[in-house]
Amino acid sequence: MIDFKYKVIDLLKEQIEFLDEDEIKLLLEVPPSYDMGDYAFPTFRLAKEFKKSPSIIAEELAGALSGNDYFEKIESSASYVNFFIDKQKLMETVLDEIKIKKDKYGSSDLGEGKTVIVEFSSPNIAKPFHIGHIRTTVIGNSLKKIYKFSGYNTIAINHLGDYGTQFGMLISAFKKWGHREVIESNPIQELLKLYVRFNSETEEDPALKDEARYWFKELENKNAEALELWQWMRDISLKEFNRVYDLLNIEFDSFAGESFYSDKMPRVIKELEEKGLLIESNGAQIVDLEAYGMPPALIRKSDGSTLYTTRDIAAAIYRKEHYDFYKNIYVVASQQNLHFKSWMKVVELMGYDWAIDCIHVPFGMVSLEDGTLSTRKGRVVFLEDVLNKAIESTRKIIDERNPNLENKEEIAEQVGIGAVIFQELFNQRIKDYVFNWDRTLSFEGETGPYVQYTHARATSLLEKGDFDINDKVQYSLLNNEEEINICRLLYNFPRIIYDSCDKNEPYFITRHIVEIAKEFNKYYNSTSIIVEDEELKKARLSLVYATKTVIKTGLELLGIKAPSRM
């Protein structure tokens, strides 16, 4: 496909010898309106060298560059040179490229030979898989897909919270009040009751905390009873979690959680000691990070038990040695910013230059309208309930609007779950938000169902018009404003994917396919597509096919299905 941006750069390089390609690329802008061109080059930087005013330089450059095959016109405006892409060349290069690449349009070999690890979701065993987990789960899944689409060997890791003092609490609570058959009938809810009760009773009896620490230490010491109860809780919890992952159509390459690294931590502690980084503090062992503006990193408690920091360092070392990653990405809430900054600094101090390739991708927090989520107090909204309610709401809408729709159950699931995912990925990930049922399940406006419906509408048009991808097309017939605007958006799709990958931001794709859907629906409502003129029909259906293809690819990169009928 023609890269018009580089055509601009090549033209400017011929006229401005003292600027290299990278400098020109950095200066080049995309105007806020197509009336001002597709690209704009400011000339302020050239004034000193040319000893002329920027506006005169712009005028002279525009004159010297005019008459190019790739651009309809090149003109000056104040101190800018504005480049207007030849619309027919744009149409031809975009639509032909999409016909050739189909659902691979926008993919690249950017990551060829490089491995990227994406750690996401990572719920705590024996605790609710609640609405607060949805952000890490769907952001991480989308990033996994975006990196894979960009040519990287991508490893999805679910770093389960299956270790730590919480298991001391649960083992102690189970031994006091638990019944195996009751828990197995409703695992997460019953384990949550035990966890909430234990935390409540420690307020009256602080000695329970010592009991919890004792049982966690016994777990670390491979006590048979503690190990058996831990394994049982892990297995029944994972079975529950997998129901949600199946609904979301999410797969992982590894479920190696915190417990996986329990036998790898002595090596970390020994290495920290040998490198003179570990010091004693009130019976505990720490790495002093005061020089870097951070509190000390606690490596081992005074009772000998380990912490998240120790396990994350051990995990990072294992992953580098096992996968030789190019990037090791952690999709974890912004509340953990200091934790990640801290242990990554420790890895750097250990002399591992790859510490810089460990990347924390933070996101904002989810809260309820009446306050924050709290597992300890039992204030949670189960994620599975949210997804099932979304499916049920969609099923009711289908029954009202299209009761004879085939595969209603499957489509209700695709649209309902798509609505939840799309809302999560519609804004920048760093923003906090308050969970609201009505907003989550709304299908109006800039939503997943709106984009999915646009895809279904385009599919229907292609079927009605007997579209044949092998037909020869007269692209000159596509020349109205809506057609050109759709094509511009399709042309920009590969750049949007690049930006999403570069900045770890799926919302670029979400917003872009909404804009494509809006522009296409405007076109659909203003233009007859299946017309008697056979050549015009072929041309317009080619644009419909390209739109449908890009919307479907965009949805899939977000982890959302694209139904052919709705």
**Under a CB-based contact definition with an 8 Å cutoff, are residues 512 and 452 in contact?**
no
Q: Is 127 a catalytic residue?
A: yes
- Alpha helix locations (H) across 87-223? 87-101, 134-149, 165-177, 180-185, 187-204, 207-220
Residue 317 sits at the vertex; the CA angle it makes with 312 and 320, to the nearest 5 degrees, is 120
Residues 6 or more apart from 514 whose CB is under 8 A from it? Answer: 426, 446, 450, 451
Pairing, β 366-368 against β 371-372? antiparallel
d(CA 521, CA 523): 5
**What is the SS3 assignment for 289?**
coil
Other CB atoms closer than 10 Å to residue 164's CB: what's the count?
19
Q: Is 320 a catalytic residue?
A: no
**Under a CB-based contact definition with an 8 Å cutoff, are residues 40 and 34 in contact?**
no
- Residue 27's H or E segment, with its range, is helix 21-27
Q: Which of 7, 52, 102, 133 is flagged as catalytic?
A: 133
**Under a CB-based contact definition with an 8 Å cutoff, are residues 425 and 139 in contact?**
yes
Residues 6 or more apart from 258 whose CB is under 8 A from it? Answer: 159, 160, 161, 162, 163, 164, 308, 311
Nearest to 492 by CA among 148, 80, 143, 34: 34
- Residue 72's H or E segment, with its range, is strand 71-77
CA distances to 25, 37, 165, 226, 394 from 178, in Å:
65, 70, 18, 14, 39
Sheet containing 39-42, strands listed edge to edge, beginning at the edge strand earlier in sequence: 39-42, 80-85, 71-77
Q: Is 179 a catalytic residue?
A: no
Q: Which of 7, 51, 99, 130 is flagged as catalytic?
A: 130
- Alpha helix locations (H) across 290-382? 308-323, 337-349
Place of tokens 């496909």: 1
Q: Which of 127, 145, 320, 360 is flagged as catalytic?
A: 127
* Residues labelled catalytic: 127, 130, 133
